[in-house]
Amino acid sequence: MSIPTHEEIYRLQQLSRVKNTDKCTSKWLRVVDRFNKEANMTKKINQYDTCNELEDFLCKFITWLKKLNGEEYKAESIYNCYASLARYLKEESVIKPCKI
């Protein structure tokens, strides 16, 4: 029996990934895009190259976060947003490792 390679481990992780996870992440990335547009920011969330920059961006984003109709999100939704962005940044951020 051989030790699994990184590629084999990654492939197995992707098989266990639920489609709803990707849908949820896409939803929150669209909200981030809306924030960037309203705040006249051009840098994408995965392009911040220091932890301080990313933390500053996320603090502004979470403080701004509201539904399109102006209502506040429930705490559970904000947590889902955080979890989705953390998962996305773990895979896509230029900061390695990226822990938020």
Average pLDDT (24-37) is 96
Enumerate the H helices of 1-100 as residue ranges.
Answer: 6-15, 19-38, 51-64, 75-92
Q: Report yes or no on 5 lying in a domain.
A: no
Q: How does the average pLDDT of the chain come out, rounded?
A: 90
User: How many Cβ atoms sit within 10 Å of the Cβ of residue 66?
Assistant: 12
CA separation, residue 13 to residues 6, 16, 17, 53 (Å):
10, 5, 7, 30
In the prediction, which pLDDT does 17 show?
Answer: 67
Residue-number span of the structural domain to which 40 is assigned = 19-92
Q: Report yes or no on 14 lying in a domain.
A: no
Q: Report yes or no on 100 lying in a domain.
A: no
Q: Is 32 a residue whose pLDDT tops 70?
A: yes
Could you give the number of structural domains in the chain? 1
Reported as a single tens digit per residue, the pLDDT across 6-22 is: 888 888 877 766 777 88
Closest CA to 67 of 39, 40, 36, 28: 28
N-to-C CA span, the chain: 37
What is the pTM for the complete model shown?
Answer: 0.78
Q: Report yes or no on 36 lying in a domain.
A: yes
